[in-house]
Amino acid sequence: MRRGERHDVGLRVRANMREPHYICVPRHPCDLFDLHVRFGDRVPDRIVVLEKAFQNDTRFPRGAVLETDDAGEVHVRFRHLAPGFAYGIRWQPAGLG
């Protein structure tokens, strides 16, 4: 690719998460981060959006609360991400609240 050309990247991951969040902290400006997380039958008690948060703010989130759909999935879309900030979701595992 040449400098300035656009491209799309997709990633599908099945993970055993050690931390109760999934975030993107871009190093460079990013036009779009489209995040789908499927919890299946292990839906957390609380899921919160993190948008333009400092990385330490991921421990004590203050964002909109999300509800899962019938498949146990949440979907959030972020546009025009600023480098160095966190974007994504944080959840409180079921039974810990």
Predicted confidence (pLDDT) per residue in 13-32, tens digit: 776 767 888 899 999 989 99
Predicted confidence (pLDDT) per residue in 54-73, tens digit: 877 666 667 899 999 999 99
Rounded-to-integer distance, Cα 83 and Cα 28, Å: 5
pTM over 0.85: no
Rounded-to-integer distance, Cα 66 and Cα 76, Å: 9
Judged by DSSP in three states, 62 sits in: coil
Judged by DSSP in three states, 55 sits in: helix
Helices (H), 3-54: none
Domain-wise residue ranges, the chain: 21-92
Q: Does residue 1 register a pLDDT over 80?
A: no
Q: Virtual CA dihedral for 54, 37, 30, 26, nearest 10 degrees?
A: 40
